[in-house]
Structure 1
Amino acid sequence: MSRGGLPFRALAPNAITAMALCFGLTGVRYAISAAGVGPIAHWEIAMACIVIAGVLDGMDGRIARLLRAQSKFGAELDSLSDNIAFGVAPALILFLWSLQYAPRFGWIAALALAVCCALRLARFNARIDADEQPHKSAGFLTGVPAPAGAGLAFTPIYLWLVTGEELFRHWGLVMVWTLFIALLMISNVATYSWSSLRLKPGHRIFALAMVGLLAAALITNPWFTLLVICAGYLMLVPFSMAAYGRVKRRRRASADAGDAVSGSSS
């Protein structure tokens, strides 16, 4: 006779998702304490909390699949956590750091980031069972994913922490950048996903070495490293669009060839 109750392995991925949510909100707590005349270290802690939330978000789904603990509850919790940790929390941090000083529309720009993150997640959830998903079927994502969007939105803060220049804290620059990232999140731009990236067998050792060096760089100089990662991600977007364009052309050519064969046989 089987014992009732929920197995512990089913709780592990959801616990990690809840931790990501808590780290996102903790980032807001430190941003509130740093606003005004608070120490720079609190801004760094706020940023670190969002980064840790992103790492946890990348772990929960993979652990759920590894433990065979996927569930509809977990999927909904993950979406809600993403909205708070990568939409609401970054919007509040950016507002407290810079946008609150805008004479107009600073709060609107912060809201745009949070709302666009929610819209992106809602679109993802609405299409999750759809039969026709051209980007997903080709191994690409539609728009910039929420964790990456949050990381990109913090680029002015990275620059400020690295250089100490108050120019990067100016509300005008931050507002334009925030709106740009918000639009990228809800755009139809094809972006690379993990499933679309392939490594040649001979490059695996070099990739592992690069991951180790990246981890060391994040520990020793996190903000400059994150700045480089964000720049690299943005530079990859045109390549991902071009790669998806090639996939579309190959599919169209295959479909036309199939139509020609069926037409000749009939």
Structure 2
Amino acid sequence: MSRKDFRDRRENLRKGVYILPNLFTTGGLFAGFYSIIATIHGNYDVAAWFILIATVFDGLDGRVARITNTTSRFGVEYDSLADLVAFGVAPGVLMYMWALRPFGKLGWLAAFLYVVCGALRLARFNVQANTVESKRFVGLPIPAGAAMVASCVLIFYYFGGAGTIRKVSVLLLIYSLAALMVSNISYYSFKDPDLVKRQPFGFLVLAIFLIIIIVARPEVMLFSLCLIYTVSGPLGAVFRFGRPKKKRAGKGSGDGGVAET
């Protein structure tokens, strides 16, 4: 970094930071930290809910920043640090305390693998943010991985919370999520501008029906939605396998073209 760039960044920081989006980021960080506290006290279902609350804050801070035109480099870095705590450390600690402790070293190494793969996923996203298609994520987003972990805990307690946990299944889940986060499998980002445009009336009816089902059976529906999204990437990759790739646009076509992920 040149001296000029360093002075410019220091000067921008002296001018202050945007309060509103960073408050939402702080809310997500608080939810993640409280999830760890709840896990330590053995309140695993509460810890899972606070991870899901953190995903709500994470979805709001970026949108608020874009709507109010208050995006900043400080906000991006702060958001990544908060995400690592809320969606990396908190789910890792929850999984270890809830199901992986009986495995000893293999258990805490699995939890650590999840955390480090989440950190790598965040670092790669920050580096590739301006070079990949905005409609797609490369690798499973870390909030989605954390939501999958939290929904597994909630669905267990929904069905009674008693009996023997299928610990081997949880171990395989952690390794699978870690691998998906650092993979090159593409996932839909829900950042398509067409989503906020006019849609057929049936879409509104379907959305209302979906909300009613989620409110009626939140644990079951959240687990189902998280599972569907998690497997959508690998299934999409399987369906796309063997299909001819889109050709890049020629230099004289006036269109830069986007390669398939």
TM-score bin (small chain) = 0.7 to 0.9
Fraction of identical pairs, as percent: 30
Name which of 13, 17, 42 aligns with 2:21.
Answer: 13
TM norm structure 1: 0.78
Q: Indicate whether 1:241 and 2:237 are aligned.
A: yes
Which residue number corresponds to residue 98 of structure 2? 97
Name the CA shift for 1:204/1:43 in 2 (closer, same or farther; >3 Å): farther
Which residue number corresponds to residue 25 of structure 1? 33
Which amino acid in structure 1 is aligned with residue 47 of structure 2? A
CA contact (8 A) 1:218 1:225 kept: yes
Q: Indicate whether 1:222 and 2:218 are aligned.
A: yes
Which residue number corresponds to residue 127 of structure 1? 128
Deviation at 1:215, TM superposition (A): 3.4
Which residue number corresponds to residue 4 of structure 2? none
SS of the counterpart of 1:154?
Answer: helix
TM norm structure 2: 0.80
The whole-number CA distance in structure 2 between the counterparts of 1:196 and 1:241 is 20
CA contact (8 A) 1:159 1:168 kept: no
The whole-number CA distance in structure 1 between the counterparts of 2:185 and 2:243 is 14
Which residue number corresponds to residue 114 of structure 2? 113
Larger Rg: 1
Deviation at 1:28, TM superposition (A): 1.2
Deviation at 1:150, TM superposition (A): 0.7
Aligned pairs for 1:35-50 (under 5 A) are 42-50=43-51
The whole-number CA distance in structure 1 between the counterparts of 2:233 and 2:199 is 22
SS of the counterpart of 2:191?
Answer: helix
CA contact (8 A) 1:87 1:114 kept: yes
Deviation at 1:73, TM superposition (A): 0.4
CA contact (8 A) 1:24 1:50 kept: yes
Which residue number corresponds to residue 133 of structure 2? 137
Which residue number corresponds to residue 79 of structure 2? 78
SS of the counterpart of 1:141?
Answer: strand
Deviation at 1:160, TM superposition (A): 1.2
Name the CA shift for 1:162/1:21 in 2 (closer, same or farther; >3 Å): same
The whole-number CA distance in structure 2 between the counterparts of 1:24 and 1:200 is 29
* Aligned-residue CA RMSD (Å): 3.1
Name the CA shift for 1:191/1:176 in 2 (closer, same or farther; >3 Å): same
Which residue number corresponds to residue 177 of structure 2? 181
- Segments of 5+ residues of structure 2 without an aligned counterpart are 1-13, 254-261
Which residue number corresponds to residue 156 of structure 2? 160
Which amino acid in structure 1 is aligned with residue 62 of structure 2? G
Name the CA shift for 1:248/1:86 in 2 (closer, same or farther; >3 Å): farther
Name the CA shift for 1:233/1:106 in 2 (closer, same or farther; >3 Å): same
The whole-number CA distance in structure 2 between the counterparts of 1:26 and 1:148 is 19
Q: Which has the higher helix share?
A: 1
